[in-house]
């Protein structure tokens, strides 16, 4: 059995292997691996332990990967900025976009390599796009066939990454598009809406997916929600009602795994655990803060136009210094190549950053 087969096999069992993490009786407490060193606080208050860990973690890896990666920011002469918005900005017909799944192999997506790279760079957690605005899922969800296990890859990438994070003591954070779903007929900002949109159907869909993510993949450090503009626009169109039942989703998350932290960009309801704005933030932080930025010039998903413009170690060290001064964590993004491999420029930069941080 080669390494990839081993990771795939053990990854699908991650939920079973970690099931003891949620027996909270005093005699059976099992602390998630990323919270090693926080056992006493975890026994008293799992979420506070996670929040203390998070504020001390400082540095994490963001991974944007999906069907959009195959188009590299281009569609028949049209450009998309950012690249992961190509379905909308490139005006790709849905049927044609869905056929990209027939070419999705993730042949060189290697969770073992990615986690080792993050550790070598001095990172404490990894955040992966489980489902972006295009609705394609990187896990073996039972809610839709539009998923990685239903492609030539036949792989649950979330499971593979979850198992490697568990083994190596890295926190696993899950990006999830909440306020935008361009493909779901009842989703906010859908490009292909039903004749009569029923947001409750989308809410039920999200609830089922989040339950899967927090039930089948062991201990999760954070749920990182995106689509803030879409959520706000949807609420405004509904006369101020939160038809996406966001607080109910938050409560569901905490009922499934009490330690899980929640963010929704710079804040939606105000009940999130931390703020996670993009690139620059000049407002006053009212909660723990995380800045996310890219190793590419602009896009989060891989964009061929950024070749030769990936950020160098000096730029990343400046990002870390700026984040420390705020204070804030830095969530630094890499957009894997179409085959799932990490861009060589990003690998080189992160290795150098790790050496510099270690002195």
Q: What is the mean pLDDT of the chain?
A: 92
- CA nearest neighbour of 274 among 228, 224, 230: 224
C-alpha separations of 72 from 102, 217, 336 in Å:
16, 29, 10
More reliable by pLDDT, 7 or 315: 315
Mean per-residue pLDDT, 263-292:
94
- In the DSSP assignment, the letter for residue 261 is E
**What is the band of 12 on the pLDDT scale with cuts at 50, 70, 90?**
very low
Query: Which CA distances in Å does 279 have to 3, 28, 225?
Result: 36, 42, 16
Give me the helices (H) in the chain, please. 3-11, 14-17, 39-44, 46-57, 68-71, 86-89, 94-98, 111-120, 157-168, 199-213, 228-237, 246-256, 313-325, 344-358
122: left (phi over 0), alpha (psi -120 to 50) or beta: left
What are 214-230's pLDDT values in tens digits? Answer: 999 999 999 999 999 99
Mean pLDDT value of segment 118-146: 98
Q: Return the higher-pLDDT residue of 81 and 95.
A: 95
Measuring CA to CA, how many Å separate 306 from each of 73, 94, 106, 295?
10, 26, 21, 10
DSSP-assigned states of every residue in 299-322: -SS--GGGTT-PPPHHHHHHHHHH
Report percent pLDDT > 70 for the chain: 92
> CA-CA distance, 334 to 141, in Å (whole number)?
24
Give ∠ CA 83-242-256 in degrees, rounded to 5.
80
How many angstroms separate the CA atoms of 331 and 325, rounded?
15
Provide the token pair at 248. 């109910």
pLDDT band at residue 283 using 50, 70 and 90 as cut-offs: confident
pLDDT computed for residue 40 by the predictor: 96
On whether the CB atoms of residues 161 and 213 are closer than 8 A, the answer is: no
State the pLDDT confidence band at 29, using cuts at 50, 70 and 90. low
pLDDT confidence band for 11 (50 / 70 / 90): very low
Is residue 5 pLDDT above 80, yes or no?
A: no
For 36, phi and psi rounded to 5 degrees? Answer: -60, 130
DSSP string, 136-172: -BSS--SS-S-BGGGSTT---HHHHHHHHHHHHT-EE
For the stretch 138-195, pLDDT in tens is 999 999 999 999 999 999 999 999 999 999 999 999 999 999 999 999 999 999 999 9
The band of 79, judged by pLDDT with boundaries at 50, 70 and 90, is confident
Shortest CA distance to 50 belongs to which of 124, 130, 120? 124
* Mean pLDDT confidence for 247-275: 97
SS3 content of the chain, % helix, strand, coil (to 5): 40, 15, 45
The two tokens of residue 359 are: 């002195």
- Taking phi over 0 as left and psi of -120 to 50 as alpha, with beta for the rest, 270 belongs to left
Contact between 174 and 162 (Cβ < 8 Å)? no
47-68 confidence digits (pLDDT tens): 999 999 999 999 999 999 999 9
What domains does the chain contain, in order, with CATH numbers?
Answer: 3-358 (3.20.20.80)
């Amino acid at each position: 059995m080669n390494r990839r087969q081993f990771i795939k096999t053990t990854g699908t069992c991650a939920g079973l292997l970690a099931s003891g993490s949620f027996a909270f009786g005093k005699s059976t407490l099992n602390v998630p691996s990323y919270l090693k060193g926080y056992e006493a606080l975890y026994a008293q208050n799992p979420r506070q332990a996670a929040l203390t860990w998070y504020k001390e973690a400082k540095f994490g890896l963001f991974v944007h990967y999906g069907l959009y990666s195959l188009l590299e920011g281009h569609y028949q002469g049209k450009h998309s900025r950012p690249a992961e918005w190509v379905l909308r900005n490139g005006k790709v017909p849905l049927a044609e976009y869905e056929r990209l799944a027939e070419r999705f192999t993730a042949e060189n997506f290697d969770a073992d390599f990615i986690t080792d790279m993050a550790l070598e760079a001095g990172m404490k957690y990894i955040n992966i796009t489980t489902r972006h605005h295009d609705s394609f899922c990187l896990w073996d969800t039972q809610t839709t066939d539009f998923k990685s296990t239903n492609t030539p890859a036949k792989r649950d990438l979330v499971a593979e990454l979850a198992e490697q994070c568990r083994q190596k003591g890295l926190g696993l954070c899950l990006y999830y598009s909440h306020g935008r779903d361009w493909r779901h007929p009842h989703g906010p900002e859908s490009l292909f809406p039903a004749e009569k949109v029923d947001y409750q159907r989308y809410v039920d869909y999200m609830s089922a997916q989040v339950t899967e993510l927090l039930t089948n993949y062991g201990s999760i450090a954070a749920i990182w929600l995106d689509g803030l503009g879409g959520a706000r626009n949807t609420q405004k169109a509904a006369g101020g009602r939160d038809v996406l039942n966001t607080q109910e989703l938050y409560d569901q998350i905490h009922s499934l795994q009490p330690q899980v932290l929640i963010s929704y960009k710079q804040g939606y309801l105000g009940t999130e655990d931390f703020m996670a704005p993009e690139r620059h933030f000049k407002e006053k932080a009212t909660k723990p803060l995380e800045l996310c930025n890219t190793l590419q010039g602009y896009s989060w998903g891989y964009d061929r136009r950024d070749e030769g413009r990936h950020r160098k170690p000096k730029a990343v060290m400046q990002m870390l210094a700026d984040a420390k001064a705020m204070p804030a964590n830095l969530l630094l993004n890499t957009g894997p190549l179409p085959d799932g491999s990490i861009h060589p420029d990003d690998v080189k930069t992160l290795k150098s950053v790790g050496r510099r941080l270690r002195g």
